[in-house]
Amino acid sequence: MGSLARITGCGMSDELVVAHGLRKGYGAGERRVEVLWGLDLAVAHGEMLAVVGPSGVGKSTLLHLLGLLDRPDAGELRLFGIDVAALSVDERARWRNRRIGFVFQFHALLPEFTLEENVAMPLLIAGEGHSTAFAAAAELIEEVGLGPRRSHFPDELSGGEQQRGSVARALVAKPELLLADEPTGNLDATNAEHLFGVLRQLHLSRRLTSVIVTHNEALAGRCGRTLRLTGATVEEACSKT
Amino acid sequence: MRSVLGFVAGRYLLGLRRRTHVAAVSAISFGAMALGAAALVVTLALLEGFQSTIRAQLAEAGTHAELRPRVGRALPEGDWLARLRKRHPELEVRASAGGAVWCLGPDGAVPAELEAVDTLSRIEVNRVLAARLGVGAGSEITIASPRLVLTPLGPVPTRRRVVVGIVNPVQPGDDRAVVFAPVSVGAALLDLGAPRRVVLRAKDPRQAWRVASVVQGEVPEGVEVVSFAALNRPLLAALALERAMIGFGVALVMVVAALNLLCNLALLAAEKRADVALLTALGMTPSRVRRLFLLLGLGVGALGGVLGTALGGVAAEVLDRTHALPLPRGVFIVSHVPFRVTPASVAIVLTVSLVAALLASIAPARAASRRDVLEGLRYE
Ligand SMILES: Nc1ncnc2c1ncn2[C@@H]1O[C@H](COP(=O)(O)OP(=O)(O)OP(=O)(O)O)[C@@H](O)[C@H]1O
Ligand SMILES: [Mg+2]
């Protein structure tokens, strides 16, 4: 299993994410699985990239590498023009906190904190005062349409609402890069549509660069570009938005 | 920077919602630490209560300081002793000289030490001598000195018949037979010379510990001042040892409580695995994750320790004030079990509980901060 890529983007320059020959596998010895086999990737400023592909092909793996949650086995990854291999553990943590927003595939919110507290958490971790953090959180919660549910706990929210809360949290610290791992994965069509609408709108209004992993071809088609990971090769398609 | 750790730790400990068993489990740890601290405070207060009674008794009965020659058998000559008496009216100063004599009583002849004391006006024997001679207050005894007098019958020892005025108690472990006599009696029996020993007592027994340091600067070069502590070293050392050993034994309760805390923190860390992974993903550094768990451990352990110390201190005070625990009359020198809470013992208990909580938190905190983020995110 592997993906050999020859991705250069669709005629855009000024790239926020550049990867060269990214390799990643798991395990050792007989149990070794190679997932990414030298992937090349470039995502331009302001671009909205959809990543699609069959389950197990390595979409989450790629996103974790881009989100500094994991390290590649080989290859180079530059974010914001800087080689991330040079970053210390604390700098990686600071980037995850401030420069990268991540919407997780599973386990979105901390169960013992209200929606508001969950959304404010990145700012609290950054050392912001409670009032600033909660004001910013309230604003984003309003933007994703959850105003009235602000002080509810995650288990009192529907899947779609939780996911929108997740999006709000990913963006509260005003990152430049948004990474979303199947944000609509567990949602019905209407809710998926709603969430995607929210994402798109925020992407545009906040001039984000976004990478969105999805199984939903229709939604992928509405992103600027689609990266298609298959077992062996990577195809790409550009669409006009 | 501190506040987010406090915020998260507080929420975990209070467990406002769901997962209340973590809150219950941390409450148990909290209670265990509090109980351990309370037990330690009460025990130390009890020991201090008994021991201070014993020390007070010792000061009441015994010598508070002694002056001895550094070399030779006699103290230096001079008027320093007179000056000492004049300058310290609050002290009883007994200078004595003496030597070996024989005492004869109803039960036979016993070798004894004679001490001629300048402030004495009657004969005193100590309990050892009284027992060996079979005499009590009011009995008649004969003191014979080794000094020979030539008589028509040849050389015979000098003798004096005297009446025992009082029988003195002896210090534990002292088995010398001693007879105390006024200087006039002593001089008739022995060549007294300069005093060999000066015994000091403060009129207020509570001052016993200070007497040696008070007179230290006022005695001549060749005089050694033996303090109350040095005079009673074996007993005081035994008391200190008792306190240390019992304190140590009861402190093991704190170790058990700390182990319980360790288990609960490990449980908490396992249960919050997904949360920790998420917090790390959101930018919390591993070192702050470690501090989060240290804070949780200290929160439970130190607060428990403080609460337990306070409760134990109050309980000991109340037991002491209300005389809640009576002792059989005539067996002990006190009528109720005494408790005394000292600042030192409070400081010891607080330190022990803080250190125990910290030591118990280190391992779970390290483990929590070293977990793999992705594994934690996948874990549900
Ligand atoms: N920690 C791990 N240890 C071993 N194998 C792993 C590990 N994580 C992922 N894999 C394997 O790597 C491959 C890619 O996983 P990944 O989660 O990236 O797939 P995906 O494309 O996101 O799939 P899905 O659409 O189901 O989310 C899979 O075969 C998976 O089994
Ligand atoms: Mg995935």
HSE value, Cβ hemisphere, 13 Å, CA-based, for B43: 22
State the Cα torsion A190-A196-A201-A204 to the nearest 10°. -160
Q: Is the pLDDT of residue A104 over 60?
A: yes
Task: Give one word for B136, left, alpha or beta, with left for phi > 0 and alpha for psi -120 to 50.
Answer: beta
Residue with tokens 């014993």: B54
The mean pLDDT value for B171-183 works out to 82
Band of residue B379 on the pLDDT scale cut at 50, 70, 90:
low
Q: How wide is the angle at C-alpha A228 spanned by C-alphas A225 and A234, nearest 5°?
A: 115
Going by CATH, does the domain composed of A45-68+84-238 fall within 3.40.30.10? Answer: no
pLDDT in tens, B280-327: 999 999 999 999 999 988 888 888 999 999 999 999 889 888 887 877
Cα B91 to Cα B208: distance, rounded to the nearest angstrom: 10
Q: Is the CB of A55 under 6 A from ligand 1?
A: yes
Of A67, A112, A126, the CB nearest to B17: A112
Band of residue B50 on the pLDDT scale cut at 50, 70, 90:
confident
Q: Is the pLDDT of residue A138 over 90?
A: yes
- Closest ligand 1 atom to A62 CA: 18
For the ranges B160-164, B172-176, B369-373, the lowest mean pLDDT is seen at B172-176
Cα A206 to Cα A198: distance, rounded to the nearest angstrom: 12
The mean pLDDT value for B81-91 works out to 84
pLDDT in tens, B30-43: 899 999 999 999 99
Ligand 1 centroid – CA A223 distance (Å): 24
- Structural contact between residues B84 and B78, judged by C-beta atoms closer than 8 angstroms: no
* Residue with CA closest to ligand 1 atom 18: A58
| pLDDT value at residue B234 | 84
Band of residue B22 on the pLDDT scale cut at 50, 70, 90:
low
Task: List the one residue out of B344, B292, B244, B267 whose CA is nearest residue B3.
Answer: B292
Length of chain B: 380
Please enumerate in sequence order all residues whose Cβ is within 8 A of that of A41, keeping only pairs 6 or more positions apart, or say none.
Answer: A5, A7, A17, A18, A19, A22, A62, A227
Cα B323 to Cα B36: distance, rounded to the nearest angstrom: 24
pLDDT in tens, B203-239: 888 888 888 888 888 888 888 888 888 888 888 888 8
Residue in A124, A153, A179 to test binding to B, most B beta-carbons within 10 Å: A124
Q: From the CA of A104, which ligand is nearest?
A: 2
* Residue with CA closest to ligand 1 atom 5: A26
State the Cα torsion B57-B62-B64-B69 to the nearest 10°. -160
| pLDDT value at residue A121 | 93
Q: Is the CB of A59 under 6 A from ligand 1?
A: yes
Band of residue B16 on the pLDDT scale cut at 50, 70, 90:
low
| pLDDT value at residue A2 | 41
**Is B374 part of the contact surface with chain A (CB cutoff 8 Å)?**
yes
| pLDDT value at residue B196 | 82
Q: Rg of the Cα trace of chain A?
A: 18
Of B283, B377, B380, the CB nearest to A96: B283
**Residue in chain A lying closest to B282 (CA):** A97
| pLDDT value at residue B20 | 59
**Residue in chain A lying closest to B280 (CA):** A93
B311 or A190, which is more confident: B311
Q: Is the pLDDT of residue A48 over 60?
A: yes
Q: Can you list the positions of beta strands (E) in B26-90?
A: 65-69
| pLDDT value at residue B232 | 84
- Closest ligand 1 atom to A53 CA: 21
| pLDDT value at residue B306 | 92
- The strand order across the sheet containing A33-44 reads A33-44, A15-26, A74-79, A82-83
Q: Is the pLDDT of residue A169 over 90?
A: yes
| pLDDT value at residue A4 | 40
| pLDDT value at residue B19 | 58
Structure tokens, A206: 């906040």
The mean pLDDT value for B364-380 works out to 81
The mean pLDDT value for B329-337 works out to 74
Q: Is the pLDDT of residue B103 over 70?
A: yes
Indicate the helix (H) or strand (E) that contains B356.
Answer: helix B343-370
Q: Is the CB of A118 under 6 A from ligand 1?
A: no
Task: List the one residue out of A145, A151, A72, A140 whose CA is nearest residue A114.
Answer: A151
Band of residue A1 on the pLDDT scale cut at 50, 70, 90:
very low
Structure tokens, B289: 């994750």
Q: Is the CB of A35 under 6 A from ligand 1?
A: yes
Q: Is the CB of A183 under 6 A from ligand 1?
A: no
B330 or B19, which is more confident: B330
Residue B150 vs residues B75, B104, B154, B190: alpha-carbon distances, Å: 31, 21, 6, 15
| pLDDT value at residue A12 | 45
Burial A194-223 (b: 16+ CB within 10 A, else e): bbbebbbebbeeeebbbbbbbebeebbeeb
Ligand 2 centroid – CA A225 distance (Å): 19
Q: Is the pLDDT of residue A238 over 60?
A: no
| pLDDT value at residue B151 | 79
The mean pLDDT value for B53-71 works out to 84
A118 or B186, which is more confident: A118
Share of chain B above pLDDT 70, in %: 95
| Three-state secondary-structure class, residue B210 | helix
| pLDDT value at residue A6 | 41
- Structural contact between residues B225 and B65, judged by C-beta atoms closer than 8 angstroms: yes
Cα B98 to Cα B183: distance, rounded to the nearest angstrom: 9
The mean pLDDT value for B123-152 works out to 86
Residue A79 vs residues A38, A67, A85, A185, B104: alpha-carbon distances, Å: 17, 10, 10, 26, 108
Residue B71 vs residues B63, B93, B222: alpha-carbon distances, Å: 22, 21, 7
| pLDDT value at residue A11 | 43
> How big, in percent rounded to 5, are the helix, strand and coil portions of chain A?
40, 25, 35
**Is A104 part of the contact surface with chain B (CB cutoff 8 Å)?**
yes
Cα A123 to Cα A174: distance, rounded to the nearest angstrom: 10
Share of chain B above pLDDT 90, in %: 15
Q: Is the pLDDT of residue B148 over 70?
A: yes
Task: Identify residue B230 by its one-letter amino acid code.
Answer: A
| pLDDT value at residue B63 | 84
HSE value, Cβ hemisphere, 13 Å, CA-based, for B114: 29
| Three-state secondary-structure class, residue B310 | helix
| pLDDT value at residue A220 | 84
Residue with tokens 């779609």: A160
